[in-house]
Amino acid sequence: MSKINSIKKRFVFRFYAELNDFLPEQRRQREFEEWFKTPINVGDTLVSFGIPFSEVDLILVNGESANVKHSLKEKDRVSVYPQFESMDIRGQTQLRKIPLRETKFILDCHLGKLTRYLRMLGFDCFYKNQMDDEAIIDKSLHEGRIILTRDKLLLKSERITHAYYLRSIEKHEQLREVVQKFDLYQQFKSFSRCISCNAKLQVVDKKWVKTRVDEDTYRIFDRFFYCTVCDKVFWKGSHFKRMENYIRDLLKER
Q: Measured from the CB of residue 154, what is the shortest distance to Zn ion in angstroms?
A: 27
Cα distance from N-terminal residue to C-terminal residue, the chain: 50
228 binds Zn ion (CB under 5 A): no
147 binds Zn ion (CB under 5 A): no
Spell out the residues 6+ positions from residue 60 whose beta carbon is closer than 8 angstroms to its own.
66, 78, 79, 80, 81
229 binds Zn ion (CB under 5 A): yes
Q: Which stretch binds Zn ion (CB under 5 A): 16-24, 79-87, 191-199, 209-217?
A: 191-199
- Exactly one of 230, 235, 240, 246 binds Zn ion (CB under 5 A); that residue is 230
194 binds Zn ion (CB under 5 A): yes
Helix axes 238-253, 171-181, angle to 10 degrees: 40
Q: Which stretch binds Zn ion (CB under 5 A): 7-15, 80-88, 162-170, 223-231?
A: 223-231
Q: Measured from the CB of residue 175, what is the shortest distance to Zn ion in angstroms?
A: 20
Q: Could you tell me the strand order of the sheet in which 125-127 lies?
A: 125-127, 105-107, 146-149, 163-165
Q: How far apart are CA 43 and CA 80, in angstroms?
A: 11
Q: Measured from the CB of residue 226, what is the shortest distance to Zn ion in angstroms?
A: 9
- Total residues in contact with Zn ion, by rule CB under 5 A: 7
The count of other CB atoms within 10 Å of the CB of residue 231 is 8
Is there a contact between 80 and 32 (Cβ–Cβ < 8 Å)?
no
Is there a contact between 166 and 149 (Cβ–Cβ < 8 Å)?
yes
- Exactly one of 20, 38, 192, 196 binds Zn ion (CB under 5 A); that residue is 196
Q: How far apart are CA 202 and CA 179, in angstroms?
A: 25
Biggest distance spanned by C-alpha atoms of the chain: 83
Q: Which residues pair with 8 in a beta bridge?
A: 37
| 199 vs 220, beta carbon nearer Zn ion | 199
Single-letter code of the amino acid located at 147: I
Q: Which of residues 105-144 bind Zn ion (CB under 5 A)?
A: none
Q: Which stretch binds Zn ion (CB under 5 A): 37-45, 77-85, 115-123, 188-196?
A: 188-196
| 71 vs 202, beta carbon nearer Zn ion | 202
197 binds Zn ion (CB under 5 A): yes
Site residues (CB under 5 A) for Zn ion? 194, 196-197, 199, 227, 229-230
